[in-house]
Amino acid sequence: MIEQDTVKLLRECDAGVKMGIESIEDVLGHVRSHTMERQLTECKQAHAALGSELQTLLDRYHDAGKNPPALASAMSEMMTNLKLAVNETDATIASVMTDGCNMGVKSLNRYLNQYKAADEVSKDIAKRLINLEAKLAVDLRAYL
């Protein structure tokens, strides 16, 4: 049970990291504030570093990881583009990204609770990813 829950939690974290990176990439070209751009870039780099850690752990379990659901990725990109087409401002970007961060925090906490038997290393990665998402949401409040 421990190994099964560990792999499942790692997969969900992998999908979350990939979704976070995709979302940041979707908005970076539209950001006007240099500070916001730096915050998003640093967050993207932190996601990538966690992604590397996740891949190492997934490799130990001979697991390929998980991509975000295609529909979720497509819908996220479509909604982001639609909102930016209507109002291309840093406030819009902050709003879109905050919503995404909040969904990520919610989902990851649900998986953390669902896969209670996961090992402490995978739980730690999930918690660090949750903290990354929560911190970005807080940082972006200044632009709302």
Per-residue pLDDT tens for 65-110? 998 888 777 888 888 878 888 888 999 999 999 999 999 999 999 9
Per-residue pLDDT tens for 8-35? 999 999 999 999 999 999 999 999 999 9
Gap between the Cα atoms of 27 and 22, Å rounded: 9
Q: What is the longest distance spanned by two Cα atoms in the chain?
A: 48
CB 93 within 8 A of CB 27: yes
